[in-house]
Structure 1
Amino acid sequence: MEYSYPLSTDWSTQEMVDVVKFFEAVEAAYEKGIKREVVMAAYRSFKEVVPSQSEEKTLCREFEEVSGYVCFRVVKLAKELADGQIVRMR
């Protein structure tokens, strides 16, 4: 897919990497499946960069507009599963 991730110029390089890794985990959940613990680790790192729920919603909405993938659904499913299980969106 060819699109840009929603990023802030205020973030450090490492913070940008953490946010991109979260969006990549969301993509993987839709495209091939990804282990629950990988999604949750990426989400925890994302939340360290984006602690505000309103900013999280804004970024995830922007990501959904360009990718069609819904972050909320992936995180919700990951929270319901046990470690070792695969998060796969249908």
Structure 2
Amino acid sequence: MEYQYPIDYSWTTEEIVDVIHFFEAIESAYEKGIRRETLMSAYRRFKEVVPSKAEEKKLCGEFEEISGYSAYRAVKKAKEAAADEKILLK
């Protein structure tokens, strides 16, 4: 992609990689589909790094603004999906 992911430079390198992995999972949910468990696993790790709901909204809002992909919609669909379902948003 031709944009920068929203990150906090106070995070460790591992945390930055995990947050970027979550945003890449959101991209996959829109572009080619992703297994529900893969997306939810990335989201759970994202929430370990970003436990604050306000910070989550801020980062996901910034990501949606630059990419056009809604993390909220992707995670909501994954939470509602069956365990082995593939998530694909249009």
- TM-score normalised to structure 2 length: 0.98
What corresponds to 2:36 in structure 1? Answer: 36
Q: Answer yes or no: is 1:24 the counterpart of 2:19.
A: no
* More displaced 10-residue stretch of structure 1: 39-48 or 77-86: 77-86
Q: Answer yes or no: is 1:13 the counterpart of 2:13.
A: yes
Equivalent residues in 2 for 1:57-76 (5 A)? 57-76=57-76
Distance 1:79 1:31 in 2: 19
Structure 1 residue matching 2:84: 3-state secondary structure: coil
Q: Which runs of 4+ in 1 moved over 2 A?
A: none
- Cα deviation, residue 41, structure 1: 0.1
* % identical aligned pairs: 60
Distance 2:15 2:83 in 1: 25
What corresponds to 1:83 in structure 2? Answer: 83
Specify every segment of 5 or more residues in structure 1 that has no aligned partner in the other structure, as ranges: none
- Cα deviation, residue 84, structure 1: 1.6
Specify every segment of 5 or more residues in structure 2 that has no aligned partner in the other structure, as ranges: none
- Cα deviation, residue 42, structure 1: 0.1
Count residues in correspondence. Answer: 90
- Cα deviation, residue 13, structure 1: 0.5
Distance 2:30 2:56 in 1: 19
- Cα deviation, residue 82, structure 1: 1.5
- TM-score normalised to structure 1 length: 0.98
